Structure 1
């Protein structure tokens, strides 16, 4: 996935990826994931209940007021604007709420903003805030806190994970440049009313500004415009308006939280949460022994069988919120011709990859969208494995096989330097398959293994030929994915891909108020990406969340982060 988040709402459920977190995935243990799954959340989310709740370990039963959740290593940035790890994102979701909430399909519904009005030109959104919301320190939340939260990401010294260029608030750029003291388009009407005026209509604006309100009184106390260091110094112990508050952070190990007694939806039933760092090597044992209550796993039949054999575990499966791919530098002469990129897709045995990495428990993907999303179409070229077709396309592109079987053009051999994470177990299984597949079509692959941070840095700087990665997908296909990854010059468009038709369609989709028409435009973009292939698509794994049956009320869904439901959870 990308190193930085493009919008506020990406944090909620879209961080899952092999690249950063070690993908958790699953499906049934006796069959390959079906490629024709209906693209509706209610049809792709499957919950399997525990067969014997009496088997809950004694060590877990003794924890009457504490829920322990296995996660990746926390990074210490517990405000979504700054979070760059999955665990930090989850902690932020537990600690802070936003203007809007999200339904099970990831659609915006009233939250702290109990309602909002939209002007006839679609440019001004007036939010009417609840008057009963307090931060975890007991101080009331007002429109000034919303204004502070929105303006923070436009501060010229802001170093977090939000690209403010994607948020078209009137006057935002002037504020960022330092030529204005306030953002013109943000107006506090009264203590519980605030309006946001846009430069141009944007159908995704609620996803872009709807989440995470932080306390101006707390974070703004040590803040001056142009210097956000005072804000950043408090990221490990934020004051939020969410269900929980952070009480302790042990770097590399865990984050401890306690219930916010002022929470506007009611004091959470479980008093304490612990987000505990687990690894692929110990997470199954931790769940088995009762050291953790919740965790996520790779979707192999072996893991599913182990979860079933425990007896006391409920588990939920659905398509991952990430898709995986080989990214190519479209400005590199080797990859500038889309016939070459199409040959790379035809020449890759993705079924073999899915069987090797996930024992078949993954979907083959051909468009930049999850099978769980309502806009998923499948009405695109399926690029079935076809060596003959790949060879033909490469011939047509002018790459001819030499005496050694490796293709050449203009005196240069076709060699792909493929970057990947040195610690990624999936990549280690994928690379030999990629090498063998591409050798059959006259292409040599030279792997370049490196630590993840180096890999992310190189992709951000576009210092690469090709790389293995995954990208997160949000409920709003446009803002979280299409505009972020494929718009010309977009911050996460590491492939240097550019197509004026795609850019025009993105603009049309942002301006379209009718949801069905917006979806139709997005599907046109999927088809163009399927033909142009700046991503060489591989697969979308299944995700499996396992939870001790002693815990009730936590919902695991593709487009709504599970910490949003923790306030309703109970320990039986």
Structure 2
């Protein structure tokens, strides 16, 4: 078996298309006795929407997907080694990848999962006509898959070498044959091999899952027979962070992410915490023709108008740090620093001069205009950053106003924000954090077809970046890291993308403990005696 670094992706909207990263667990729960048959209630800040696991890119959907679906391989969150899941062995050489499935894998309807069905999954995602957001992210473009049911071997033929192909497969959920035949049903039901099966869906309120007996093919051999695993999982939608914190303290929730000031009282309450490093501040501009931000001078001016170091402190409530690379999740495939020497410096006077050069001149009221059109921006950010996110957004609007830009900040939940940037496109600036640990998974977001035809929601078209990542992808694994980081740096210098804050995401647990290597791992959940 080949050792490789894990990659994943989260639109940590954060858009999370998923995340797989190192996690540190601490707090209450160490040494506490586990109990069987309990109910684990997980609080999510946004509804996952349609439940088809291969057709959505949001963090909430990816979180619930883990309960009902499995990937082909898993990853050790600390070492970065590829481990077993649906497949027990694998090899990747050149443009060929072979994976041998475990014996006895069954779907939640009792049917067997075959190699042919797995190949059908991969070919579905690989077909551009299906518009899966995972194409080019978890599965390289141009892949063709075939399955041999007798040997249980799935063979992938790549269009070109892909240095982190196994990493991507670790985050690609596999759908069972019944779901492949009736994808419409997947929007509100499950059809997977995962440790749990969806038994009730009340969109906007809760989703209930029941454990599956006989499940033995979890990450690195995990099973549902392990003592302490919950019998029932209830995913409850709780948009307000303070409400989630109150429910944690009272026992109304077993787990929830809390990032703002409420986290301090949860720490004092002695709750269990699982920590995951993440890129939390990442600014995108809409490059689409007709938007004011399609002008590179405007993008650079808007960036130089901001005190990014100050924004980082406010956004993370003083607990974060400066961004270093775009693919930051640990264990990072390409560690280093592509950011600090590339970020445009804070200089409001230079920002004003750039806007003057672009034809946006200040009026008597201090707001800039061009050909009679005021310089107005629609600025989107997600509602899960707590009071720090609100304060940082207000600060950004104030700093833009100081150079004559009229920006309107809009806080949106993940479902709405994802729909806007991938669909209608009515935005100019957005704070959307893509959490990955392999730089190749960012390529579809930074180049290629623009949304809604592709995942390039910012409509970035940079020939230099495309050339650079093509050269990087031709090198095996970490050998191409210098080229990957140089490609990132060039985009950052141009203010095509502006990463400005890292933080540690904390998931608190009440009478439970678990692991969060990017996403909560269902087979790691243990219910504790109260």
TM-score normalised by L of structure 1: 0.76
Q: CA deviation at 1:284?
A: 1.0
> In the alignment, which residue of structure 1 is the partner of 2:72?
99
- Give the one of 227, 252, 277 matched to 2:237: 277
From 195, 208, 229, give the equivalent of 1:243.
Answer: 195
Distance in 2, Cα, partners of 1:53 & 1:287 = 20
Shift of residue 188, structure 1, vs aligned partner? 2.5
Q: Cα RMSD (Å) of the superposition? A: 3.8
Report how far residue 46 of structure 1 moved: 4.8
**Structure 1 unpaired stretches of 5+:** 1-8, 22-39, 173-182, 224-229
Displacement of 1:413 after TM fit?
6.0
Change in 2 beyond 3 A, CA 1:288/1:94? same
In 2, Cα distance between equivalents of 1:236 and 1:86:
17
1:445 counterpart residue number: 406
Partner of 1:308: 267
1:296 match: 257
Match of residue 464 from structure 2: 501
**Cα shift at 1:133:** 2.6
Change (3 A) 1:161 1:251: same
Does residue 113 (structure 1) correspond to residue 87 (structure 2)? The answer is yes
Q: Distance in 2 between matches of 1:451 and 1:379?
A: 29
Cα shift at 1:140: 3.3
Matched position secondary structure for 1:295: strand
Q: Distance in 2 between matches of 1:162 and 1:133?
A: 24
> How far apart are 1:161 and its partner, in Å?
4.3
Measured in 1, the distance between the counterparts of 2:31 and 2:166 equals: 41
Instruction: Indicate whether 1:320 and 2:282 are aligned.
Output: no
CA distance in 1, matches of 2:126, 2:282: 31
Q: Deviations over 1:449-508 (max 9, x none)?
A: 4866666555335744612231322232212x2x12212435232333222121012222
Partner residue, 1:82: 55
> Is the alpha carbon distance of 1:417 and 1:457 closer, same or farther for their aligned partners in structure 2, counting shifts above 3 Å?
same
Shift of the 422–75 alpha-carbon distance from structure 1 to 2, 3 Å rule, reads closer
In structure 2, C-alpha distance between the alignment counterparts of 1:499 and 1:465, rounded to whole Å: 20
SS in 2 for 1:279: coil
Shift in CA distance, 160/379, structure 1 to aligned 2, threshold 3 Å: closer
Is 1:125 the counterpart of 2:83? The answer is: no
Aligned residues of 2:292 and 2:428 also touching (Cα < 8 A): no
Q: How big is the shift at 1:394?
A: 4.4
Displacement after TM superposition at 1:338 (Å): 3.7
TM-superposed CA distance for 1:123, in Å, is 1.2
The answer to whether the 8 A contact 1:68-1:273 is kept is yes
Cα drift, residue 306 of structure 1: 0.6
Q: What CA distance in whole angstroms lies between the structure 1 residues aligned with 2:248 and 2:486?
A: 44
Measure, in 2, the Cα distance between the counterparts of 1:384 and 1:169: 36
Q: Say whether residues 1:417 and 2:380 are aligned partners.
A: no
The answer for the alignment partner of 2:224 in structure 1 is 267
- Give the aligned length: 502
Match of 1:527 among 453, 470, 489: 489
**Cα shift at 1:562:** 1.9
Distance 1:391 1:330 in 2: 23
Structure 1 distance, partners of 2:304, 2:405, is 16
Return the index of the structure with the highest Cα Rg: 1
1:146 Cα shift? 0.9
Contact 1:248/1:255 (8 A) holds in 2: yes
Contact 1:17 1:470 survives alignment (8 Å): yes
Query: Are 1:199 and 2:159 matched, yes or no?
Result: yes
Structure 1 match to 2:3: none
**For 1:290-346, what per-residue CA distance to the aligned partner results, in whole angstroms no more than 9, with x for missing partners?**
111111102x3x3232112213x1123343354431424364585455444333222
Q: Structure 1: how far apart are the matches of 2:481 and 2:46?
A: 36
C-alpha distance 286-323 of structure 1, shift in aligned 2 (>3 A):
same
* 1:14 lines up with 2:10 in the alignment: yes
Q: 1:435: Cα distance to partner?
A: 3.3
Are 2:438 and 1:476 equivalent residues in the alignment?
A: yes
The structure 2 residue matched to 1:557, chosen from 511, 517, 522, is: 517
Paired residues of 2:344 and 2:495 also in contact (CA < 8 A):
no
Q: Is the 8 A contact 1:95 1:243 kept in 2?
A: yes
Cα distance 1:356–1:123, how it changes in 2: closer, same or farther (>3 A)?
A: closer
CA deviations on 1:156-212 (whole Å, 9 max, x unpaired) are 874654447984565x6xxxxxxxxxx6x4243634112111222222322444432
Who is 1:362 aligned against?
320
Partner of 1:363, secondary structure, is coil
Contact 2:256 2:507 in 1 (8 A): yes
Q: Is the 8 A contact 1:80 1:93 kept in 2?
A: no
Q: Distance in 2 between matches of 1:394 and 1:492?
A: 29
State the 1:68 CA deviation: 1.7
Provide, for residues 5-61 of structure 1, a one-character-per-residue CA deviation record: whole Å limited to 9, x for no partner. xxxx99x6614325799xxxxxxxxxxxxxxxxxx966xx5544139999x9xxxx9
Secondary structure, counterpart of 1:114 in structure 2: strand
